[in-house]
Amino acid sequence: MLAYLLLALALAWALRRWPAALLAAAAGLCVTVVPPYLVAGSPLARAMLQRRGKVSADNFYQLFSVAFRHHLPPGAELVVAAAVVALAALLLRRLPDAAPGLRGVRLGLPAVRPALAIGIAWLFLWYYQLPWYDTMIIALLALYRASRLDYVVILQMTAGTLALLPGGSGGEPPLGWLRTFSHAIGFTWSPLLLLAAVVAVVALCVSGAWNIGPPPRNAEVTVGEAAAWPARGAAAGWPVRS
């Protein structure tokens, strides 16, 4: 549910200057999301509330306090939420647009950048995450040129996956080298890699060195090329940002 709300927040941010489009998006969200949750009823709400205060194995906060291996310490939720907001704001300011310009006009995919910024901030910093949650940003990265951010996301997802091995098993490996290796991965190396991914994202924001290779020869495209985009640019009636 929270993932849907985050994407809705990104869409609202992108459409904040166009009230009619914002109302249409809100109506679409209500039609597609609200009825299934009403059908599921109170059991779904109870299941979501029961997760509050829980932490997943793939969090780097355990490097600073072992309490994060078991539950969320008192007062930590507000600190983590503030960090998520701060990183999202930094990404909103520094993350490049997914769509190139059209003769000096930026158009086409206004919600992609805020959705990616909010998604990365939440996935990289929130205390309860599972590796498959990363699909919400991988789908958005497909709309961007290849960049160093791709490798950072792969690093974060891989570290989280290793921390949760062997999957749904609730028990630990048998005594011996396998348990020692499992503890080293789950309590040391995976958290270190997750923290390194956060540092790498901040470094990319500060440096602006997103692209692996040289920048494209011309960041602008012709009207004919823009017409091939799924959004169809301004010709389809979508908002155009000058």
Residue 184, pLDDT score: 83
Q: What is the mean pLDDT of the chain?
A: 79
For range 168-180, the mean pLDDT: 70
Quote the tokens at residue 45. 């709400």
For range 178-198, the mean pLDDT: 87
pLDDT at position 17 over 80: yes
| pLDDT classification of 77: cutoffs 50, 70, 90 | confident
For range 6-18, the mean pLDDT: 85
Distance CA 74, CA 69 (A): 14
Residues, the chain: 242
Residue 152, pLDDT score: 95
Residue 239, pLDDT score: 54
Phi-psi group of 38: left, alpha or beta (phi > 0 → left; psi -120 to 50 → alpha; rest → beta): alpha
Distance CA 55, CA 65 (A): 13
| pLDDT classification of 16: cutoffs 50, 70, 90 | confident
| pLDDT classification of 116: cutoffs 50, 70, 90 | very high
The CA–CA distances, whole Å, from 12 to 3, 21, 24, 52, 97 equal 14, 9, 11, 26, 17
Read off the pTM.
0.77
Residue 196, pLDDT score: 96
Residue 106, pLDDT score: 47
The CA–CA distances, whole Å, from 170 to 57, 69, 164, 165, 173 equal 12, 14, 10, 10, 10
Write out pLDDT tens, residues 31-46: 888 888 788 777 877 7
Q: How far is CA 205 from the centre of its chain?
A: 15
Query: Where are any strands of DSSP class E within 59-143?
Result: 101-102, 105-107
Q: How far is CA 55 from the centre of its chain?
A: 18
Q: Strands 101-102 and 105-107, how do they pair?
A: antiparallel
Q: Where are the domains of the chain?
A: 1-50, 55-229
Q: Residue 112 contacts by C-beta under 8 Å, 6 or more apart in sequence? A: 97, 98, 99, 140, 143
